[in-house]
């Protein structure tokens, strides 16, 4: 199974700052990589799929890049509602797997 | 709009079974695969398996083979996930989740239920 490693585990930033989250796969997943946001007590929400395509109604401050084994989620300017946990997921091969998550917290 | 509404929280004893329901609305139930994902408190997301609601075909994570069964009732647009031989480490929130679209792959999740917490405790 493909292992996804997210870094850092926690990112402490202030509103308005840029956030850069990393996801590395143990083998190539091509572009079958998605990013989800999860807030406390809520289900995850799809942000990005196909490594770089924004899901419906996702603000353009969220962007994804990468292919193969190295991927990045960038939040250009953090809004208060963006402080949450972010997970990457590969969905190109079975079993699909998730990374361990990156928590973006208010500094 | 797509909605997935899950059954309520449950408490079970070790060794028991639990069956979670997931009622779909806002789309044609048989047209989109359903996945089940669980999350222990304070932990990450763990994929359990998928089901094609049209054919009933399923695929399970190796970890849950023999303990999990995913079924559906198309007449009421409802998917079910049953987990047996419960252990304390099965305590988690369980999510049903619909794929984003038919061309995007079986495991790309676009819509999530609200989650069902079940607690395994003696």
CA distance A2 to A107: 33
CA distance A8 to A11: 6
Question: Which pLDDT belongs to residue A20?
Answer: 98
Q: B104 vs A49: CB contact, 8 Å cut-off? A: yes
* H/E element, A34: strand A33-38
Q: Under a CB-based contact definition with an 8 Å cutoff, are residues B118 and B94 in contact?
A: yes
Mean pLDDT of chain B: 96
Question: Which pLDDT belongs to residue B105?
Answer: 79
CA distance B30 to B100: 14
Residues of B in contact with A32 (CB under 8 A): 105, 108
Residues of B in contact with A55 (CB under 8 A): 100, 110
Whose tokens are 């990112």? That residue is: A11
What confidence tens digit (pLDDT) does each residue in A39-79 have? 999 999 999 999 999 999 999 999 999 999 999 999 999 99
CA distance A12 to chain B (A): 18
Question: Which pLDDT belongs to residue B68?
Answer: 98
Query: Is a pLDDT exceeding 90 seen at residue A91?
Result: yes
Q: A91 vs B115: CB contact, 8 Å cut-off? A: no
What confidence tens digit (pLDDT) does each residue in B64-108 have? 999 999 999 999 999 999 999 999 999 999 999 999 987 777 899
Tell me the C-alpha to C-alpha distance, in Å, between residue A57 and each of A47, A60, A61, B32. Answer: 9, 9, 12, 21
Question: Which pLDDT belongs to residue B104?
Answer: 72
Q: A46 vs B109: CB contact, 8 Å cut-off? A: yes
In chain B, % of residues over pLDDT 70: 100
CA distance A83 to A103: 8
What confidence tens digit (pLDDT) does each residue in A12-42 have? 999 999 999 999 999 999 999 999 999 999 9
What are the φ/ψ torsions at residue A27 (nearest 5 degrees)? -155, 165
Buried b (16+ CB within 10 A) or exposed e, A77-91: ebeeebbbbbbbbbb
Query: Is a pLDDT exceeding 90 seen at residue A102?
Result: yes
Question: Which pLDDT belongs to residue B115?
Answer: 98
Closest-CA residue to A87 (of A69, A73, A99): A99
Closest residue to B112, CB basis, from A44, A91, A96: A44
Closest residue to A95, CB basis, from B45, B61, B110: B61
CA distance B116 to B96: 9
Question: Which pLDDT belongs to residue B101?
Answer: 85
Residues of A in contact with B46 (CB under 8 A): 98
Tell me the C-alpha to C-alpha distance, in Å, between residue B34 and each of A12, B48, B80. Answer: 35, 11, 10
For A94-101, what is the mean pLDDT?
97
For B23-34, what is the mean pLDDT?
97
Residues of B in contact with A87 (CB under 8 A): 44-45
Q: Please tell me which residue of chain A has the smallest CA distance to B62.
A: A95
């Amino acid at each position: 199974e493909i292992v996804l490693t997210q870094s850092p585990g926690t990112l402490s930033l202030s509103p308005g700052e840029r956030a850069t989250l990393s996801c590395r796969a143990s083998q190539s997943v091509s572009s079958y990589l998605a990013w989800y946001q999860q807030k406390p007590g809520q289900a995850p929400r799809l942000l990005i799929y196909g490594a770089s395509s924004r899901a419906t109604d996702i603000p353009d401050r969220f962007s994804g890049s990468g292919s193969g084994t190295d991927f990045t989620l960038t939040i250009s300017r953090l809004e208060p509602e963006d402080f949450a946990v972010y997970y990457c997921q590969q969905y190109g091969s079975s079993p699909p797997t998730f990374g361990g998550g990156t928590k973006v917290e208010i500094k | 709009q797509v909605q997935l509404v899950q059954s309520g929280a449950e408490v079970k004893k070790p060794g028991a079974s639990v069956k979670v329901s997931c009622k779909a609305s806002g789309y044609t139930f048989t047209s989109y695969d359903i996945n089940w994902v669980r999350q222990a408190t304070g932990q990450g997301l763990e994929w359990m398996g998928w089901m094609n609601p049209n054919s009933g075909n399923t695929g399970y994570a190796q970890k849950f083979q023999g303990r999990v069964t995913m079924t559906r009732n198309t007449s009421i647009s409802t998917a079910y996930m049953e987990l047996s031989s419960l252990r304390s480490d099965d305590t988690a929130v369980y999510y049903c989740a619909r794929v984003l679209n038919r061309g995007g792959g079986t495991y790309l999740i676009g819509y999530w239920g609200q989650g069902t917490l079940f607690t395994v405790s003696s």
